[in-house]
């Protein structure tokens, strides 16, 4: 998929992803494969993955990455977007010794939550819930800070 098409294919308004965020766009595209998994795909009763939940997760990634890039003119690390528990989608960002895990729940049954820590300083922790209507670029800023 062309980088500039990522946002438009999500049905969101606004600019496309710049070429500098190509790795993020590629990881978004690779994560789309989870939508092809049937119910009980693991033989342990796991749910199928819902396109609305996936789109919500990708929206968080796009908005945070684009917000960070526009405000700092610095390429943010590309996150991993993967299967979470009970049909949720996990987003994992890592940079050096810091990481942030975001969980987007299936069906908007619960808030989007995050937990981040610094492996060099166990007192440097961030956690809470996100408003997906906000760009949340500060999370990527914390990660790189």
What's the per-residue H, E or C state across the chain?
Answer: CCCCHHHHHCCCCCCCCCHHHHHHHHHHHHHHHHHHCCCCCCCCCCCCCCHHHHHHHHHHHHHHHHHHHHHHCCCCCCCEEEECHHHCEEEEEEECCEEEEEEECHHHCCCEEEEEEECCEEEEEEEEEECCCCCCHHHHHHHHC
Query: Per-residue pLDDT for 15 more than 70?
Result: no
Integer Cα distance of 69 and 121 in angstroms: 26
Size (the chain), residues: 145
Integer Cα distance of 102 and 123 in angstroms: 19
Structure pTM? 0.87
Number of domains in the chain: 1
Model confidence pLDDT, tens digit, residues 82-119: 999 989 999 999 999 999 999 999 987 789 999 999 98
| Matching residue, tokens 């299936």 | 106
Beta bridge partners of 93: 100
Range of the domain at 31: 5-144
Predicted local distance difference test score (pLDDT) of residue 2: 38
What is the mean pLDDT of the segment spanning 71-92?
94
């Amino acid at each position: 998929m062309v980088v500039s098409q990522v946002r438009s294919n999500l049905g969101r308004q606004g600019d496309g992803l710049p070429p500098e965020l190509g790795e993020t766009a590629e990881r978004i595209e690779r994560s789309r494969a989870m939508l092809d998994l049937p119910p009980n795909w693991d033989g342990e009763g796991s749910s199928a993955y819902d396109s609305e939940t996936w789109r919500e997760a990708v929206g968080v990634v796009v908005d945070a990455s684009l917000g960070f890039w526009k405000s700092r003119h610095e390429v943010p690390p590309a996150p991993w977007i993967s299967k979470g528990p009970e049909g949720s989608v996990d987003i994992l960002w890592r940079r050096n010794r810091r990481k942030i895990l975001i969980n987007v729940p299936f069906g908007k049954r619960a808030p989007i939550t995050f937990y981040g820590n610094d492996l060099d300083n166990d007192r440097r922790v961030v956690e809470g819930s996100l408003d997906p209507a906000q760009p949340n670029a500060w999370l990527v800023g914390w990660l790189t800070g």
